[in-house]
A and B are shown apart, each in its own frame.
Chain A
Amino acid sequence: MNLLYSDVEEQLRASVRDLLAARAPLSGAVARAESDRPYEPALWTALARELGVAGLAVPESAGGHGGSWREVAVVAEELGRAVAATPFLGSTVLATAAATAVPSARELVGALAAGTSTAVLVVPLSTPPGSAFPGQVSFDGTHATGQVRSAADAAAADLLLVPAAGPAGPVLLSVEAGAARCEPVTSLDLTRPLSNVHLDAAAGSVVAEGDGAVRALEAALLAGAVVLASEQVGLAEHGLDSTVAYLKERYQFGRQIGSFQALKHRCADLWANLAQARAVARYAAACLADGTADGAADAPVAAALAQAYCSPLAVTAAEECIQLHGGIGFTWEHPAHLYLKRAKADSIAFGGAARHHARLGELVGLPA
């Protein structure tokens, strides 16, 4: 299981980084976050279509770029590092993973991969892998009714993938965004807005049913947890990098404050833990990319492990970033708070460390 970055991945990273620096520089992050349009359609279009990130994990035969989840994870690192507001997680990760798990959904996969459609999986963002199939939405064969709280990225989507309770069991529905009402909620994370999705006899068509629907949902949640770990690595790297830079430029008591051991040791610990987080996140991405090969069997363990390790680490990195920046770190004008809000929200997304510990215990035979 290769845990390094390939040359292709490093080139992809550089392209994404350059694009984000040009179109979504950190200097404007706070202003963008409090604007009326947290998602900039032009940025997403450039990422999804020009760089082709939307189709990275989709086979060429299905209209994608024939890459793998490893590359998707590298993009997630960069989006995390830039705390960029895009529907990447909702569409490229969750919806695409769900759709590619359904053999008959080729057309949908192609549209997602091409970036001509932006879709979202309508589940609460906090839903962990291994969850029971949700039943908040009921489906009568043609129309869906129900409410789902705190779905991520729904505001940017033109298509909703909705798990629902159908007449004969679980179904995964496709609902035009216009047929539903997405009510924005005030989200802790300013850069990944949440919505309550209301379906009031909304017309829906069945993408998958029965076991197929269950498998599609699980594939999506697993991919979400895995890729989010890489986003958390990117967030944490930014937290450490910006802190180290600040500790070199700030003088107090006649010294660069980075020369004080009390501060250095906190950075060293963070760096050491970040090295581990990177290995863990790479392992999870590699398992997911393995598809049907050896690593795939370990993917549920790798996903839970990655979330259990990377979630708290990203929060710690964001918290340390604020503390070690002192007063400026606590202000609205400095972007550090965007990272803390994203990191804390991420740590609750897909289940939180306690749930992942419990799931790991089940998976590796260490019962509670």
Chain B
Amino acid sequence: MEKFATVDADGLRARVEQLLAEHDPAGDRLAFLQARFDAGLAWVHYPPGLGGLGAPRELQSVVDDALAAAGAPDNDPRRIGIGLGMAAPTILVHGTDEQRRRWLRPLWTGEEVWCQLFSEPGAGSDLAALGTRAVREQDSWIVNGQKVWTSMAHEARWAILVTRTDPSVPKHAGMTYFACDMTAPGVEVRPLRQITGEAEFNEVFLTDVRIPDEYRLGDVGNGWRVAQTTLMNERVAIGGGAAPRESGTIAAVCRTWRERPELRTPAGHAELMRLWVEAEALRLTGLRLRQQLAVGAPGPEGSAAKLSYARLNQAVSGFELDLLGDEALRYDDWSTGTWATKRPAAVDFLARSPGYRYLRAKGNSIEGGTSEILRNIIAERVLGLPGEPRVDKDVPWKDLPK
């Protein structure tokens, strides 16, 4: 029986009360999360029946806060971030009713982790150049190719996958989007060891992988448009509260400066203060961005913040090594040998050595869109400057130089 007529903040609080009354938050974790999903309190802006109530997205914090206060378990959004941020919105928009029912609930509860099979060794910034082939065979597709930079692939049950289904048309027109079962024969996940010595990511090799046609998301040949939904949702969420002054990598440098007077030099001070100012400017920009979002006027500054963050993190972590001198010649842990390679699920700059910070920061200007592509996006979409002349637009994919 429907007891609540509205889905305003008070109505949501009442629904949370009811959920807590009927399901013990200290009991079985998964059972509670499933009950929360079924009560429409998973992501309140999703439709009823799919974990939501069709409520305004900004009311989610009402639910999250009330449940956190009650000590209820969360669904570990860090571990299932790709599912929540990228797969789910894509399934919601482009999936069939059956696909939505099959995938969204276990995705949200964390029973099934998702990863993303987009980038390839030959198609990074130019994602639409990808060459992983999917060939139709009756009710299935046979997929062959190699993907890269795949976070969580080693834990994922499912992947969102973009493939080439028609090489004879220009690149954007010949792509098709699927959900791929990561346990299917022919899917091989290998850790991709990176500059830090760790393997946050994976390479994924797809050899004659059979994907049933009912796992296709969107029409054949429409994969690029489906992928746009995924990518537009990639950085929508700006979580958490405002960071305090001297947060992040600048904090470590400031602590060293305060505690180690023998390391100080005049030139070092000038550089330290320049970086301190940059860090504070970035922090205030983030604060301003959150305030814009809170009043429903998101600005394009998010892409600027990503650009600035990468530059700052690299400069600060490089300066930290310069400041430390002799000590900076050491590293905390290479864990040599593939058997010992670490597989962290998240990056924690402050828990690691200065050398790690320096090396890991090199990824900040590459992951999630290179700084060069971000500059193009700012220049073209924000400032309205003309695009580069395109030589690949009307050429069949198979005829493009590779």
Contact = CB atoms under 8 A, between A and B. Distances in A.
Contact of A244 (B245, B272, B276, B385): B385
B272 A272 contact: no
Interface residues on B, range: 35 or more
B281 interface: yes
Given A267-B379, A268-B378, A308-B277, A248 B384 contact: yes
A2 to B, nearest CB: 7
B308 A272 contact: yes
A142 interface: no
B100 interface: no
Contacts of B69: none
B285 A276 contact: yes
Contacts of A256: 385-386
A276 B386 contact: no
Contacts of B384: 244, 248
Contacts of A248: 384-386
Majority SS at the chain A contact face: helix
A308 B275 CA distance: 11
A224 B48 CA distance: 56
Given A244-B385, A357-B270, A366-B273, A305 B285 contact: no
B281 A276 contact: yes
B375 A258 contact: no
Interface stretch (A70-78, A163-171, A277-285, A336-344): A277-285
Nearest to B307: A272
A366 B276 contact: yes
A357 B127 CA distance: 43
Contacts of A133: none
B292 interface: yes
A361 B273 CA distance: 7
A305 B389 contact: no
A358 interface: yes
B235 interface: no
Interface string B343-381: 000000000000000000000000000001011101110
A125 B383 CA distance: 35
Contact of A268 (B246, B270, B374, B388): B374
A45 interface: no
A282 B270 CA distance: 25
A360 B64 CA distance: 39
Contact of A271 (B288, B292, B378): B378
Nearest to A282: B288
A267 B272 CA distance: 26
Contact of B288 (A268, A272, A279, A366): A279
Contacts of B295: 4
Contacts of A1: 287
B288 A357 contact: no
Given A248-B385, A357-B270, A276 B379 contact: no
Contacts of A258: 379, 385-386
Contacts of B274: 308, 357
Contacts of B378: 267-268, 271-272
B280 interface: yes
A267 B383 contact: yes
A8 interface: no
B380 A275 contact: no
B276 A259 contact: no
A273 interface: yes
B301 interface: yes
Nearest to B375: A268
Contacts of B308: 272-273, 276
Contacts of B376: 261, 264-265, 268
A367 B269 CA distance: 8
B46 interface: no
Interface of A: 1-4, 240, 244, 247-248, 255-256, 258-259, 261, 263-265, 267-269, 271-273, 275-280, 282-283, 305, 308-309, 354, 357-358, 360-361, 364-368
Given A263-B385, A267-B379, A305-B281, 19 more contacts: A1-B287, A3-B291, A244-B385, A255-B386, A258-B385, A258-B386, A259-B386, A259-B387, A261-B372, A261-B376, A264-B385, A265-B376, A268-B374, A268-B378, A279-B281, A282-B284, A309-B281, A357-B270, A367-B264
19 contacts: A244-B384, A256-B385, A259-B387, A259-B388, A259-B389, A261-B372, A264-B375, A268-B374, A271-B304, A272-B304, A272-B378, A276-B282, A276-B308, A305-B281, A357-B269, A361-B272, A365-B258, A367-B269, A368-B269
- Interchain residue pairs A-B with the least CB separation, the first 4: A264-B379, A272-B304, A357-B273, A268-B375
